[in-house]
Chains A and B, each alone.
Chain A
Amino acid sequence: MKKHLGYFSLPVAVAIGATLVASSAFAQTVDTARIEAAGQNDWLTYHGSYKSHHYSPLAQINTSNVGNLGVAWMHIPGKSTRGVQSMPLVADGVLYYTGSYSRTFALNGATGELIWHYFPELDEALIKRQTHSPYNRGVALGEGKVYVGTVDGRLIALDAKTGRVAWDTKLIDSQKLTVGFTGAPLYAKGLVIIGAQGGEWPGRGPIFAIDAATGKKKWEFLTVAGTDEAMKTWGGDSWRTGGGGGWMPGTYDSETNTLLWGTANPAPLYDWSGADYKTQGARPGDNLYTSSVIGLDIDTGKLKFYHQELPHDAWDFDSAVGEFVMLERDGQKLIVHPNKGGFIFVYDRNLAVKNVWRLVQNINFVKDIDPKTGALIGRRDFTAGKVTDPPLCPFIGGGISWNAGSYSPKTGLYYKIGQEWCMTLDVQKTTPVTSPQVQLNIGADFKMAPPPGGEIYGHLDARDPVTGVKKWEVRYPEPPLGSVLSTAGNLVFVPDSRGTIHAYDAETGTELWNHNNGTGHQGGIVSYSVGGKQYIAVTAGFGGMLADEYGPNFGGIYKSMPRDDGMLVVFSLK
């Protein structure tokens, strides 16, 4: 929380010199218009731009020369409990990223030299009690500041030039609710927006909008029963403990002045109500607005529209994951958004369903989802007891995990990782741990299992984002967990779980280059340019609730893969 001047004096001194080297245009502010424009040299927000393409228009590195890609520099953040999971951001030649414990670094994008670092003081006792911590998934940039959330419920603004704390706002009583912030914030229109964790924890999934300049809270929207209408969808006042955190960053649609955000599953995770879920169980009803995408007026935080992708989600296939790809097709402005259950939803800009298609083959929590209405067909709801034949598909890690796919406006293809795995379950009527501090409430024991009649695997698909028609596919023996990047150099980069980063031809899927980083990837990947040179930056480092499943289930390299370790690796042409 506090920086000690004596301790930090040396890095700050280095910062001044390095900043001058990195860019003479450092003073350029990052604002809504600049993020909207998504200048090709930068990577200004988690999803790359408000359009969420995770695409770089840089083409210096391309299909003809990617074979010459080599490591330009690396950075080791240290104390990387549960690996490095963040998405780097880049503005004016300075790269910002976070490690575990919200440790934030500003580095010269060309050389990796440290400009400044900030290690917040966190409540260590609280962190030890949290099940989903202490990793952090990135920062937001805006108005000369770097914004980072903490697992003890604070949002902190740092001066982008010096790393000094500009403001530090406590938003969540994490001592009581256990959860804090792990996802990256979003900067838009003078606000910093961030959602709390909280799928399986009995809170109400608040999304906060904070004044970017002052740190004062402007509004708060509760993703659980945030309206009177929604409150009626929670039987027995179960809205008080509904979960539903918006734990990953959404995006901003300036044309409609709307903040788009995804929300998590309700708590408890596995409900035992069976087919009577509308009236029975721990949380009777549809449980609005969990496992939904919501559109909020960015000025007021008022709900404008929503679509609940999974009413009464009883499978942990929430909608907080993934990007909101904005594109145009036949004169229609569309949004493409993945759901953890393995389906891709296509919406208009008011979140009306235009299509739903399957990325993943092994899905049996529903028979299908109506592509015209988004209605679930043939739900599979559980009562207490074992679920083994067939196992539930996909696995709790999701048919789609939280990291981002990529859309290339150049090829018109959407590159997305699918995960083919299932699980056996023993659903239990648990007594949740709530006093004095809530704990994760899964409500079941579970075990990874292969799909019926097949094997576990992961795949990168190149598909039409609107129709889902597949152009090509690359398979992996274990599901990759990192983000995907496409570039104007007709390349698609996939950092996989074994530790290899692959570059594919964006049109054909032919592998053109790979490099072993020595540890699994489960974070972000971006491209940027400094001094006319293009770089690819990727975070590496494995560990956490999902990655820890790899050793016992897949063995091999995962048994010896380092835990609580990680790094940032940056590549350029040799």
Chain B
Amino acid sequence: MKTILPFMVGAVIGLIGSAQARPLDAIRSTGVLGLCAHPNSLPFANKAGDPPGFQVELGQALARELGVSLELDWIITRYQMRSAGCDILLDVIADREAQGETNLRISKPYYRTGVVLAVPPASKLTSFKSLDGHTKVGVLVGSFAAMVISQRRVPTSTFGFEIDSLEAVANHEIDAAAVTPTAASYFNLTHPDKALRILDRDESEANLNWNVAVGMVRPDDSLRDAIDGALERLRADGTVERIYRRYGVILQSPK
């Protein structure tokens, strides 16, 4: 499976509860849109608020479009989402398989992402295809990228954190890091002295590319329509792009 937000698969005992998400009328009558976000996951979200993360900023923009205020539920796992009572999540994979796992309904996608290679500025690597038996690539443990790259008989080095993988490239321990463009872009923003070259995504490998949408917890049709409409307006006026760019992320259009 693929995730952008770090929602744990596997069993966590004791985190049970029923979703409390509401239809659009209820959201408008209470004046609050609930967003579930990770409390410590910059550039996605940050409970400390400085900066707040692009999910918080986009959530605020969506709430404004709906004429309500944003309320944050800080969660770590998808199980917590069930008892948190939020209405939406951001940066959710717009994929039927992923949707099935989270039981979320999704909006129209609003950008495309996946896995890219981050390499040293002077690297001769140009794409996934240029990897070979002599190039060592940093991958996240158990990730699709780990499986796909290993199947190509490319040596891998396993990491628990994208930033560790990017640091290893910067320190020339490995030749490339297979990471999300979001992580690589934010690394370059926050480590200008170690900035890496980010290669283009390889659309030929379906598992390494995906669209991103707003995930909605049991919405009614009105809420889905309202979210889609708000997103369209925020994309059209450049708000979405501006928010992500503040975190070093250049958005690409969904496919």
Q: How far is the CA of A188 from the CA of B158 in the complex (A)?
A: 36
In the complex, given contacts A443-B142, A444-B10, what are 15 additional A-B residue pairs having Cβ atoms less than 8 angstroms apart?
A: A125-B39, A129-B40, A238-B141, A241-B158, A268-B141, A268-B142, A282-B142, A282-B158, A433-B6, A434-B161, A438-B161, A439-B8, A440-B12, A545-B14, A548-B13
Give the chain B neighbours of A432 by CB distance below 8 A.
140-143, 160
List the 6 closest pairs (A to B, CB-CB), nearest first.
A442-B10, A202-B160, A237-B157, A433-B6, A236-B156, A238-B158
Given the contacts A439-B6, A441-B10, A446-B11, A434 and B157 also touching, CB distance less than 8 Å: no
CB distance from A65 to the nearest CB of B (A): 42
Which chain B residue lies CB-closest to A202?
B160
User: Within residues 215 to 242 of chain A, which ones have a CB less than 8 A from any CB in chain B?
Assistant: 236-241
Are B162 and A434 interface neighbours, CB within 8 A? Answer: yes
Convert B124-145 into 0s and 1s, putting 1 for each residue whose CB lies closer than 8 angstroms to a CB of A.
0000000000001001111110
Are B47 and A240 interface neighbours, CB within 8 A? Answer: no
Give the chain A neighbours of B14 by CB distance below 8 A.
545, 548
Most B Cβ at <10 Å: residue of A129, A236, A268, A446: A236
CB distance from B124 to the nearest CB of A (A): 22
Q: Interface residues of B: mostly helix, strand, loop or mixed?
A: loop
Which chain B residue lies CB-closest to A239?
B158
Most A Cβ at <10 Å: residue of B1, B6, B10: B10
Q: How far is the CA of A439 from the CA of B10 in the complex (A)?
A: 11
Convert A75-117 into 0s and 1s, putting 1 for each residue whose CB lies closer than 8 angstroms to a CB of B.
0000000000000000000000000000000000000000000
Give the chain A neighbours of B26 by CB distance below 8 A.
none
CB distance from A550 to the nearest CB of B (A): 11
Decide yes or no whether A60 CB sits under 8 A from chain B: no
Q: How far is the CA of A72 from the CA of B77 in the complex (A)?
A: 44
Give the chain B neighbours of A240 by CB distance below 8 A.
141, 157-160, 164
CB distance from A171 to the nearest CB of B (A): 18
Most A Cβ at <10 Å: residue of B12, B142, B159, B183: B142
**Which of A269, A282, A436, A441 meets B40, CB within 8 Å?**
A436
CB distance from A434 to the nearest CB of B (A): 5
Decide yes or no whether B41 CB sits under 8 A from chain A: yes
Are A236 and B158 interface neighbours, CB within 8 A? Answer: yes
Are A428 and B11 interface neighbours, CB within 8 A? Answer: no
Are A435 and B10 interface neighbours, CB within 8 A? Answer: no
Convert B1-31 into 0s and 1s, putting 1 for each residue whose CB lies closer than 8 angstroms to a CB of A.
1110011111111100000000000000000
Are B155 and A203 interface neighbours, CB within 8 A? Answer: no
Are B47 and A125 interface neighbours, CB within 8 A? Answer: yes
Are B3 and A431 interface neighbours, CB within 8 A? Answer: yes
Are A282 and B160 interface neighbours, CB within 8 A? Answer: no
Give the chain B neighbours of A433 by CB distance below 8 A.
6-8, 76-77
User: Could you list 23 A-B pairs, sorted by A, with CB under 8 Å?
Assistant: A202-B141, A203-B160, A236-B158, A237-B156, A238-B158, A240-B160, A267-B141, A282-B142, A283-B158, A432-B141, A432-B143, A434-B140, A434-B141, A434-B162, A435-B6, A435-B41, A435-B161, A436-B42, A436-B163, A438-B161, A442-B10, A443-B10, A445-B10
Q: How far is the CA of A194 from the CA of B140 in the complex (A)?
A: 28
Give the chain B neighbours of A202 by CB distance below 8 A.
141, 160
Given the contacts A236-B157, A443-B10, A429 and B147 also touching, CB distance less than 8 Å: yes
Are B183 and A442 interface neighbours, CB within 8 A? Answer: no
Decide yes or no whether B88 CB sits under 8 A from chain A: no
**Which of B40, B150, B163 meets A236, CB within 8 Å?**
B150
Which chain A residue lies CB-closest to B11?
A445
Q: Interface residues of A: mostly helix, strand, loop or mixed?
A: loop
Given the contacts A435-B163, A548-B14, A430 and B9 also touching, CB distance less than 8 Å: yes
Which chain B residue lies CB-closest to A427?
B10
CB distance from A311 to the nearest CB of B (A): 19
Decide yes or no whether A131 CB sits under 8 A from chain B: yes
Decide yes or no whether A508 CB sits under 8 A from chain B: no
What residues of chain A have their CB less than 8 Å away from a CB belonging to chain B? Answer: 125, 128-129, 131, 175-176, 202-203, 236-241, 267-269, 282-283, 428-446, 545, 548-549
Q: How far is the CA of A144 from the CA of B40 in the complex (A)?
A: 40
CB distance from B45 to the nearest CB of A (A): 10
Q: How far is the CA of A283 from the CA of B142 in the complex (A)?
A: 9
Q: How far is the CA of A237 from the CA of B2 in the complex (A)?
A: 22
CB distance from A385 to the nearest CB of B (A): 14
Decide yes or no whether B146 CB sits under 8 A from chain A: yes
CB distance from B83 to the nearest CB of A (A): 13
CB distance from A473 to the nearest CB of B (A): 29
Q: How far is the CA of A429 from the CA of B156 in the complex (A)?
A: 18
Are B13 and A549 interface neighbours, CB within 8 A? Answer: yes
CB distance from B175 to the nearest CB of A (A): 13
Given the contacts A431-B140, A432-B140, A443-B142, A438 and B160 also touching, CB distance less than 8 Å: yes
Q: How far is the CA of A237 from the CA of B161 in the complex (A)?
A: 14
Give the chain B neighbours of A441 by CB distance below 8 A.
8, 10, 141-142
Q: How far is the CA of A545 from the CA of B42 in the complex (A)?
A: 29
Are A435 and B183 interface neighbours, CB within 8 A? Answer: yes
User: Within residues 34 to 83 of chain B, which ones have a CB less than 8 A from any CB in chain A?
Assistant: 39-42, 47, 76-77
Q: How far is the CA of A429 from the CA of B146 in the complex (A)?
A: 11
Which chain A residue lies CB-closest to B101?
A428
Give the chain A neighbours of B143 by CB distance below 8 A.
431-432
Give the chain A neighbours of B1 by CB distance below 8 A.
428-431
Give the chain B neighbours of A238 by CB distance below 8 A.
141, 158
CB distance from A441 to the nearest CB of B (A): 7
Q: How far is the CA of A83 from the CA of B116 in the complex (A)?
A: 45
CB distance from A570 to the nearest CB of B (A): 30
CB distance from A96 to the nearest CB of B (A): 30
CB distance from B37 to the nearest CB of A (A): 13
Give the chain B neighbours of A431 by CB distance below 8 A.
1-3, 9, 140, 142-144
CB distance from A91 to the nearest CB of B (A): 37
Give the chain A neighbours of B12 by CB distance below 8 A.
131, 440
Most B Cβ at <10 Å: residue of A241, A433, A439: A433
Most A Cβ at <10 Å: residue of B1, B150, B163: B150
Given the contacts A431-B3, A440-B12, A176 and B161 also touching, CB distance less than 8 Å: yes
Most A Cβ at <10 Å: residue of B9, B140, B162: B9
Most A Cβ at <10 Å: residue of B7, B8, B143, B155: B8
Q: How far is the CA of A213 from the CA of B3 in the complex (A)?
A: 47
Most A Cβ at <10 Å: residue of B11, B77, B164, B183: B11
